[in-house]
Amino acid sequence: MARLGDILVRKGLVTQAQLEAALASQGSERGMLGQILLRRSLISLDQLGDALAEQYGVPYLDLVPQAVNPQVARLLPEDLARTRCCVPVGVSGGELRLAMVMPDDIDTICETELITGYQVRPMVALETAVNAALDRGFDDRLVARQTIVDMKMADLESAEHLTDVDTAAPVVAEEEQAPVVRLVRSILMGAINANCSDIHLEPHTPEMRVRYRVDGELQAVMTIPNHTEEAVVARIKVMADMDTTENRRPQDGRLTITEAGSNVNFRVSTIPTVGGEKVVMRLLDEGGRSFDLESLGLGARDLKAVNRLIAKPHGMIVVTGPTGSGKSTTMYAVLSKLNAVSRNIVTVEDPVEYRLSGVNQVASDNDHGLGFANALKYIMRQDPDVVMVGEIRDHETATTAVQASLTGHLLISTLHTNDAIGAVARLGDLGIDNFKIGGALLGSVAQRLLRSICPACKEPVEPNESLLKSLSHNTKVPADAVFFRGRGCKKCLGTGYMGRIPIYEIMEMSPALAEAVEKGMPATQLRQIARGEGMVELAQAGMEQVLAGKTTLEEVFYKISS
């Protein structure tokens, strides 16, 4: 087989000197010879295609990833397709058109025929185009969209052949069942691959909207036609073991799917709205979640403070922050750290999101007399050493929790407050006397999750002076400080962010602070005392991450002020 460079020289498209220069740069310049020549504008795409077709003796395909049906691309396993750098692009009769970077790879052709059952027609394509087609083909969100298109086409085809609506209806339902199953699985798999925390299916007119919450932000993914949404919701209810006939009251359930040999759980919640049933599914990846306090994202300073708090034999520790700030994860990490044969650890949660080996977990159930307050009373008869209460939200729960912490138990719970100092005022609002708060509370941990700058499109930026001024009143900003942002790219879906990092504000109850609490001093004075004893506020912790180049001023301001 002739070499590509020799063909191009023979055709007069490049000179021998240009070819040798391109070959010499292959060690340092990314890509194959043809791509290097393209980047240097020495040849055109059509000329490269003609040369490749002559070299391999097969047609050249100017592959457009958007034109490849994702379900066709998935005819081969992803690992095989990426390793061999090939992608199925079309099926006609018993023939499969296979775009390949190396169309003379007989092993790949034979293996493809064995896997798919089709006769392979190889075609040569550029590596970048093949990889782009694979990226698009194995994006589950696109597969779900394509499934919706397939369902619409199936509806049209069925309508054309209907002669008797009454007799044909069961057949149509049977035909639609498989696409609905495929659609729901694609939505779930897309959520897993996108590392999202929640899936929202929202009934609107004319179409149901599907959104993923990724890194704390909701992103629109697709829409589902109204005539299909009932079948989608019903399928989810079946998987979650919920009542498919009930659509006038809220329901809760749980479903599990298997991916790569491990189980991924979803907590499912439905609620009736004026447009139909809204479904929210919380991703609970037990197999991929590790509750390790050391790897939680705490800096050395904060880790020492948390370890000092949980080393106390009794008292109350509260974790505060808005919904979605990672409070439950922090509590699970603390429990994992405390978990030992010598300790009896009992929790009451609503619901139990993750199972911890060696920990006795109780699901809160108001219908059966096991609300937080009642469950806590029963737990106190179970000889506990450590008790975790999912949330303190009323006077009765707060009173029982404080009483437990004052009688020799270590109690951990959450409160909805904006900062660590706010835990004192919140307990006071729930009817707890100041002297009990001062005696029971060991400390409080306020936290936020900040979006990290995408490393693929990270670039320096001039800071917003007003934001910098408002956030840096307790932080010394070096004169040569460099600030960054994410420009937005394909990897971060144009957001400029990828992943999240936590920041903490930890208030440790000292004798001076406890005395101030018992005297009923206002939050401003409590904050002043805590700051004087070394407490780092959320704004300061956020600025530390900004100066480290991990997040942006805008992200810190938005999360701290919310």
Residue 239 pLDDT exceeds 90: yes
Q: Give residue 175's pLDDT band: very low, low, confident or very high (50, 70, 90).
A: very low
Residue 433 pLDDT exceeds 50: yes
Residue 512 pLDDT exceeds 60: yes
- Look at residue 167 in the predicted model and tell me its pLDDT: 43
Q: Which residue has the higher pLDDT, 25 or 200?
A: 200
- Look at residue 68 in the predicted model and tell me its pLDDT: 84
- Look at residue 473 in the predicted model and tell me its pLDDT: 80
In this prediction, residues 508-521 reach a mean pLDDT of: 95
Task: Give me the torsion for CA of 290, 294, 298, 301, rounded to 10°.
Answer: 170
Residue 424 pLDDT exceeds 90: yes
* Rounded Cα distance, 421 and 435, in Å: 16
- Cβ pair 488, 497 in contact under 8 A: no
Buried b (16+ CB within 10 A) or exposed e, 247-281: eeeebebbbeeeeeeeebbbbbbbeeeeebbbbbb
470 dihedral zone (left: phi>0; alpha: psi -120 to 50; beta):
alpha
* Rounded Cα distance, 266 and 283, in Å: 5
- Look at residue 389 in the predicted model and tell me its pLDDT: 94
Helical packing angle, 140-161 and 226-239, nearest 10°: 120
Residue 492 pLDDT exceeds 60: yes
- Look at residue 157 in the predicted model and tell me its pLDDT: 56
In this prediction, residues 97-103 reach a mean pLDDT of: 92
Residue 113 pLDDT exceeds 80: yes
In sequence order, the 6+-apart residues with CB closer than 8 A to the CB of 206 are 225, 226
- Look at residue 495 in the predicted model and tell me its pLDDT: 86
Q: Tokens 């979605």 appear where?
A: 324
In this prediction, residues 328-346 reach a mean pLDDT of: 93
Residue 24 pLDDT exceeds 50: yes
- Look at residue 121 in the predicted model and tell me its pLDDT: 93
- Cβ pair 399, 431 in contact under 8 A: yes
At 142-152, the pLDDT tens digits run: 556 656 656 65
Residue 77 pLDDT exceeds 60: yes
In sequence order, the 6+-apart residues with CB closer than 8 A to the CB of 554 are 464, 467
Per DSSP, the residues of 1-51 read ---HHHHHHHTTSS-HHHHHHHHHGGGTS-S-HHHHHHHTTSS-HHHHHHH
Helical packing angle, 523-532 and 422-429, nearest 10°: 140
Q: Give residue 168's pLDDT band: very low, low, confident or very high (50, 70, 90).
A: very low
- Look at residue 169 in the predicted model and tell me its pLDDT: 41
Residue 335 pLDDT exceeds 90: yes
Q: Give residue 176's pLDDT band: very low, low, confident or very high (50, 70, 90).
A: very low
In this prediction, residues 218-223 reach a mean pLDDT of: 85
Name, of 29-33, 48-52, 256-260, 422-426, the range with top average pLDDT.
422-426
Query: Domain 180-284, what fold?
Result: Beta-Lactamase (3.30.450)
* Rounded Cα distance, 154 and 140, in Å: 21
Is CATH 3.40.50.300 what the domain over 293-447+503-537 is classified as, yes or no?
Answer: yes
CA distance readout (Å), 53 to 63, 87, 130, 214: 14, 17, 16, 43
Domain ranges of the chain: 1-57, 59-142, 180-284, 293-447+503-537
Q: Which residue has the higher pLDDT, 561 or 425?
A: 425
Residue 535 pLDDT exceeds 90: yes
- Look at residue 18 in the predicted model and tell me its pLDDT: 83
In three-state form (DSSP H/G/I as H, E/B as E, the rest C), the secondary structure along 413-481 is: EEECCCCCCHHHHHHHHCCCCHHHHHHHEEEEEEEEEEEEECCCCEEEECCCHHHHHHHCCCCCCCCCC
Q: Which residue has the higher pLDDT, 560 or 307?
A: 307
Chain mean pLDDT for the chain: 86
Name, of 95-104, 215-224, 465-474, the range with top average pLDDT.
95-104
Q: Give residue 303's pLDDT band: very low, low, confident or very high (50, 70, 90).
A: very high
In this prediction, residues 377-385 reach a mean pLDDT of: 93
The three-state secondary structure class of 246 is: coil
Residue 514 pLDDT exceeds 90: yes
* Rounded Cα distance, 248 and 277, in Å: 8
Neighbours of 211 (CB within 10 A): 18
CATH classification for the domain delimited by 59-142, as one of 3.40.50.2020, 3.40.640.10, 3.30.300.160, 3.40.50.720: 3.30.300.160
Q: Going by DSSP bridges, is the β-strand pair 315-320/345-349 parallel, antiparallel, or unpaired?
A: unpaired
| Percent of residues, the chain, with pLDDT higher than 90 | 47
In this prediction, residues 516-535 reach a mean pLDDT of: 94
- Look at residue 165 in the predicted model and tell me its pLDDT: 46
Q: Give residue 156's pLDDT band: very low, low, confident or very high (50, 70, 90).
A: low
Name, of 21-25, 448-452, 493-497, the range with top average pLDDT.
448-452
**In terms of residues, how long is the chain?**
562
| Percent of residues, the chain, with pLDDT higher than 70 | 90
CA angle 161, 166, 168 (to 5 degrees): 35
Q: Give residue 172's pLDDT band: very low, low, confident or very high (50, 70, 90).
A: very low
Helical packing angle, 553-561 and 538-547, nearest 10°: 160
CA distance readout (Å), 35 to 58, 254, 321, 379: 19, 49, 51, 68
Token pair for residue 83?
A: 């390793």
- Cβ pair 272, 249 in contact under 8 A: yes
Helical packing angle, 226-239 and 165-193, nearest 10°: 70
0.85 cut: is pTM over it? no
- Look at residue 517 in the predicted model and tell me its pLDDT: 96
